[in-house]
Amino acid sequence: MQLKMDRVSKQYKNKIAVDRISMELSPGVYGLLGANGAGKTTLMRMLCGILDPDAGEITLDGISVKEEEYRDKLGYLPQEFGCYPEFTALDFLVYIAALKGIPKAQAKRKARKLLSYVGLEGQEKKKVRTFSGGMRQRLGIAQVLLNEPSVIILDEPTAGLDPKERVRFRNMIAKLGSEAIVLLSTHIVSDVEYIADTILVMKDGKMIHSGRREEIIEAVSGKVWECELNQEEAARLTEKYNVANVHEEHGKCCLRLIAEEKPHETAQAKEPTLEDLYLYYFSEETEGM
């Protein structure tokens, strides 16, 4: 199974949202990392057939994104997951199953099985409006899986969840990657770091990195530094460089900096992290958020 993008582009007026992206994805979990406005959502909507590319082609095993057969193999959880609050969890899934052409008897069996799979067993008859944010997101995953998709697209699925729900959600997503192509879009670095087999870094509509965590953080190797300084020196360096972390210890400011060259005579080189890479590329976007 292979999801292929061939020079896919999309432009809005004077802004190029997706710029000639070519990639081939096989089963596994792909973490699409980038700041807000990087083009992630536009790319995912094109992969789902919601938006048409201005140029390029998207296929799954040779089947065009424009074909019904492609959509039959697709599961999509958008950033804003809409549901009917007065429906019970079971009724909601049966309704979505009907929209996907699944017979009612089969739909009920599948719905109950999926509610158990996502940790909502015993909640079948509760109305969706009573669910927490995490429970709604799990219900969202259940509706994605109704048609046993080969491609699963998840747009910011853990945004707004508490730490416990985020861990539960990440574990669920990791399991899905054993049989399907799972594309997870987020700007939450830890989500990508923990579960993605391959990390994709998108900036200004372009895919600037693709690979395992250990491979892509090489881009900031030799650019991560830590130093202990007095308040005045720390303030000066904070003005000049990207600061990944700052804390006080024994009356000194401990800074973790991203810099092309040694930022201070006391600075010590450190092993980079994915968060360092994110800050290196997206510090300006992060400040504007």
Reported as a pLDDT band with limits 50, 70 and 90, residue 178 is confident
pTM here is 0.84
Across all residues in the chain, what is the average pLDDT?
Answer: 88
Mean pLDDT within 48-72: 93
Beta-sheet pairing, 15-25 with 3-12: antiparallel
The pLDDT of residue 286 is above 50: no
Reported as a pLDDT band with limits 50, 70 and 90, residue 13 is confident
At 60 the pLDDT is 95
- Can you tell me the distance from the alpha carbon of 198 to that of 204, in angstroms, rounded to the nearest whole number? 20
What domains can be seen in the chain, in order of their start residue?
3-212 (3.40.50.300), 222-271 (no CATH)
At 284 the pLDDT is 57
- Dihedral class, residue 28 (left if φ above 0, else alpha if ψ from -120 to 50, else beta): left
Q: Tokens 């900096």 sit at which residue?
A: 257
- Can you tell me the distance from the alpha carbon of 138 to that of 27, in angstroms, rounded to the nearest whole number? 21
The pLDDT of residue 246 is above 60: yes
The pLDDT of residue 71 is above 60: yes
Mean pLDDT within 141-170: 85
Mean pLDDT within 90-110: 89
Residue type at 183 in one-letter notation: L
Residue type at 9 in one-letter notation: S
Show Cβ contacts of residue 96 under 8 Å, excluding neighbours closer than 6 positions: 143, 146
At 19 the pLDDT is 94
Where is mean pLDDT largest: 28-42, 57-71, 188-202? 57-71
At 248 the pLDDT is 83
The pLDDT of residue 288 is above 50: no
Please indicate whether residue 251 or residue 212 has the higher confidence score (pLDDT): 212
Q: What is the dihedral of CA 221, 224, 226, 231, to 10 degrees?
A: 170
- For residue range 24-45, list pLDDT tens digits in order: 999 999 999 888 888 898 999 9
Decide: 96 and 128 in contact? Cβ < 8 Å.
no
